[in-house]
Chains A and B, each alone.
Chain A
Amino acid sequence: MRWIKKSIWRRRVVWALAAVFAVAGSGRSSGPIGAKAVAQATPRPVAAAAAPTAPGTRFVVVLDAAHGGDDPGGRLNGQSEEAFTLAMGVRLRSLLAARGIQVVTTRESDSTVDLVRRAEMANHANAQVCLSLHGTESGSGVHLYVSNLAPAQPARIAPWKTAQAAWVTRSLALAGTLNSALLQAGMTVTLGRTSLPGVDSMTCPAVAVELAPERAPGKKVTAELDDPGYQARAAEALAAALVEWRGEAPQP
């Protein structure tokens, strides 16, 4: 009697497993997002720079204009998110260049750059700041998101998908600096943590900056995303924050 029960249970497990693999397999092999999922799933260890940069080393900012090419991102007021992030990236880059800050961008045109490639570029740059730029019609002001990986000690070899864990503490500090600068510029800021494929693989202080329309308390829009004045205000505040971040002695 017992063994019959056991074998039924075992069969149930096998079936559940088969079902899960079938679902996982079919999800992976269908559609254009499937290819990306495979690319993301490739486990690749990251050689993490053991300690944050010492003072005196060159200050590099990575600007990652999210989406592009096959992935247009969200539809914003009259334009695609990919075009918006590219425009914000250009704005921010010229402000930073004017302040003598070296900028590395992950894309310069409406091209497809997968998340693995973006993280590779960011990690290769050995940057002190990595900003992933997004735009949305939801919410208001600026949303600052940091990876929700639990902070970890820097390791010589870190797993690809969670490489950001060693940098989360610094990323939170960077979000704090961005927050104060944006508040000072009179913008509303929402801080949060989330799972960010791409950013989760970056070995630098990394924050996803998502710009939303500016809204009055009654949710009425007071500045749209395509408003050049609003874009400039956000970019100036971010640039000011990065100048301040450059001045701060990096705490290990």
Chain B
Amino acid sequence: MIPRYQTVLFVVLLVASAAMGVALWQLRERAHQRLLSSQDSTPTQAPEVAPAEPATIYVANDTDGSLLAQVQQLPLPKDPGARARAVLGKLLDLYAAPDAGHPVPGGANSIAQVFLMQAENLDGATGKGGSGGVSSPTQSPATTDPMQMGPELAIVNLTGAFAAGHPSGIETETLTVMSICGTLHATLPRVTEVRFLVDGQLRATLAGHADLTRTYLATEAMPTEGAR
């Protein structure tokens, strides 16, 4: 014979476990709904293909040694480093085209990376820097407010294949360097100084003439000065 209190206890426990089962089921449903709804929402990351924007590119011409500003519609990423790489890639694509005025083989893939650093502490080192002029660079943190950041140094890392394939000559090498400096400054006005690496290494010259050991001032690239 089962005592009465045990029967009552059994019924209470049965009801409680049933209620918990229902509650659990509802929670699971709600969590599932949340998961589905979050999948529907727009991505937090910007789309891979950025919208086309006008970008000023300084295009060199070997015939008269000139740099001509050209406005191109380009998909430009928001990240400054990627943006710099995109415009320089376009510049080198123009040079790699069959009827280029400043023919240089290689194209966009010749820009391995572009690093941006704050240039505030570099003032003393802007001279001809065989001694590796960069004194105390501080990697600019991505989170810093762009309005508060000072002038920047861009380090353009070129591929070895690009340097090896670059035509040799004072004019052609100078024009490549100057057009890269001018284009960087036009796209990222805070870039005031530019240094070059080839395959991540310091290199004496681009193809026997243009000095790659020094820091270039982006403003040097502005229209070629004539003598007298």
Residue among A74, A137, A144 having the largest count of chain B Cβ atoms under 10 Å: A74
Shortest beta-carbon distance, A164 to chain B, in Å? Answer: 11
Contact A37-B130, Cβ < 8 Å, known A74-B208, A172-B228: yes
Contact partner of B169 (CB less than 8 A), chosen from A12, A74, A195, A197, is A74
Contact call B202/A134, Cβ cutoff below 8 A: no
Contact partner of A33 (CB less than 8 A), chosen from B134, B172, B204, B227, is B204
Chain A residues touching B, range: 35 or more
Shortest beta-carbon distance, A184 to chain B, in Å? Answer: 15
Could you tell me which residues of chain A, from 145 to 202, have a CB within 8 Å of some CB in chain B? 145-146, 148, 161-162, 172-173, 175-176, 179, 190-197, 200
Give a binary string over B109-143; 1 marks a CB under 8 Å from any A CB, 0 the rest: 00000000100000000011011101011110000
A62 at the interface (CB under 8 A from B): no
Contact call A175/B65, Cβ cutoff below 8 A: no
Contact A161-B128, Cβ < 8 Å, known A172-B227, A191-B227: yes
A-B contact count (CB 8 A): 151
Contact partner of B130 (CB less than 8 A), chosen from A21, A40, A193, is A40
Closest to A136 in B: B169
Closest to A13 in B: B138
Contact partner of A67 (CB less than 8 A), chosen from B62, B63, B208, is B208
Kindly specify which of B34-42, B80-88, B210-218 makes contact with the partner chain: B210-218
Kindly specify which of A118-126, A208-216, A237-245 makes contact with the partner chain: A208-216
Closest 5 CB pairs of A and B: A74-B168, A27-B202, A136-B169, A24-B132, A41-B130
21 A-B residue contacts at CB 8 Å? Answer: A12-B138, A17-B136, A23-B197, A23-B200, A40-B130, A137-B167, A138-B103, A139-B63, A143-B65, A146-B227, A173-B227, A192-B65, A192-B170, A192-B171, A192-B226, A193-B224, A194-B174, A195-B210, A195-B211, A195-B214, A196-B170
B interface residues with partner A (beta carbon < 8 Å): 62-65, 103, 117, 127-128, 130-132, 134, 136-139, 167-172, 174, 197, 200-205, 207-211, 213-214, 216, 220, 224-228
